[in-house]
């Protein structure tokens, strides 16, 4: 997926392709300046927004596979956040905790069933109760398998129901994680910092926020620095939606179809930081 960004030297638009790492080393085709765009967004968020866009554009089948991938990556995000949160209270420093986590995750990284097992345990340890929402019905596993593995052509309403279910589950777990999610965000910042430390001095680093649907619900969709509406009372608390479909519909109304527009909004390219090298 391409996203537009802006050259920090000549301020003209440059189109970049979303990288797995969220780190993009670019050369401006207009003026030749080298710069590095770091997108503060997690894989599950990127995937969920892609799924939403596919759904809007009428690619129902592709949307299902993408929503399913978003959910899997969210389970990984949850495990990382929960483990790092727990280790933050121990003796190990952050880099050591991160290395231990990566060394453990590699045993499950190739198989989603193993990852689900790890998520289940992480949930039990953090919340003190079983993840009873992990039933095939609740996860829409049958529907997903019919579409992804057996070539079934889903109707749009079915995809919307599935998307709503995935959205509600992630949204609920993010709410439970609360501040704990910051630990996984910190891991991304650590990767960014390691990349920045290797950048030559003439390369400018640019941080971007692309709100997407989950951040939009939490932070009102505003980039940091702009007048952010009451962070303390998320929209979800104003008048609780009665079911998954309503939760999803509300989030879509708030943010969904506007994704392309949002990605082009230069005000979201919040922080220009000249000079490369170190932060702060």
- Site residues (vs Zn ion, CB under 5 A): 7, 9-10, 28, 30-31, 33
Question: Which residue number, 33 or 101, has a Cβ lying nearer to Zn ion?
Answer: 33
Indicate the SS3 state at residue 191.
Answer: helix
Output the smallest distance, CB 136 to Zn ion, in A. 51
Find the radius of gyration of the CA atoms of the chain.
19
Question: Which residue number, 10 or 124, has a Cβ lying nearer to Zn ion?
Answer: 10
Output the smallest distance, CB 6 to Zn ion, in A. 9
Rounded Cα distance between 28 and 15, Å, is 9
- CA nearest to 74, candidates 10, 7, 165, 210: 165
Output the smallest distance, CB 31 to Zn ion, in A. 3
Output the smallest distance, CB 200 to Zn ion, in A. 17
State residue 14 phi and psi, 5-degree precision.
Answer: -130, 135
Question: Which residue number, 15 or 156, has a Cβ lying nearer to Zn ion?
Answer: 15
136: alpha, beta or left? (left if phi > 0; alpha if psi -120 to 50): alpha
Question: Which residue number, 13 or 176, has a Cβ lying nearer to Zn ion?
Answer: 13
Residue 266 exposed, middle or buried by CB count within 10 Å (0-12, 13-18, 19+) = exposed
**What are the tokens at 10?**
């000549």
Output the smallest distance, CB 12 to Zn ion, in A. 5
Question: Which residue number, 22 or 28, has a Cβ lying nearer to Zn ion?
Answer: 28
């Amino acid at each position: 997926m391409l996203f537009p960004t802006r050259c920090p030297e000549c301020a003209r638009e440059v189109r970049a392709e979303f990288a797995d790492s969220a780190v993009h080393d670019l050369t401006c085709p207009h003026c030749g300046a080298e710069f590095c765009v770091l997108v503060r967004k997690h894989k599950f968020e990127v995937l969920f927004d892609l799924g939403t866009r596919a759904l809007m554009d009428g690619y129902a089948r592709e949307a299902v596979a993408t929503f399913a991938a978003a959910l899997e990556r969210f389970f990984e995000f949850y495990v990382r956040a929960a483990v790092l949160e727990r280790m933050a209270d121990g003796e190990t420093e952050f880099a050591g905790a991160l290395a231990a986590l990566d060394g453990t995750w590699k045993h499950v990284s190739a198989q989603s069933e193993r990852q689900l097992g790890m998520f289940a345990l992480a949930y039990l340890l953090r919340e003190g109760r079983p993840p009873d929402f992990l039933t095939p019905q609740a996860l829409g596993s049958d529907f997903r398998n019919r579409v992804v593995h057996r070539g079934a052509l889903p109707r749009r309403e079915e995809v919307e129901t599935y998307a709503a279910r995935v959205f509600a589950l992630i949204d609920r777990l993010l709410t439970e994680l609360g501040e704990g999610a910051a630990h996984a965000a910190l891991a991304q910042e650590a990767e960014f910092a390691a990349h920045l430390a290797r950048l030559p001095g003439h390369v400018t680093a640019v941080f971007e926020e692309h709100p997407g649907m989950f951040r939009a619900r939490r932070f009102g969709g505003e980039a940091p620095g702009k007048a952010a509406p009451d962070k303390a009372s998320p929209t979800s608390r104003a008048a609780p939606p009665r079911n998954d479909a309503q939760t999803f519909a509300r989030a879509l109304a708030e943010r969904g179809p506007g994704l392309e527009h949002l990605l082009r909004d230069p005000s979201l390219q919040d922080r220009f930081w000249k000079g490369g090298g170190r932060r702060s």
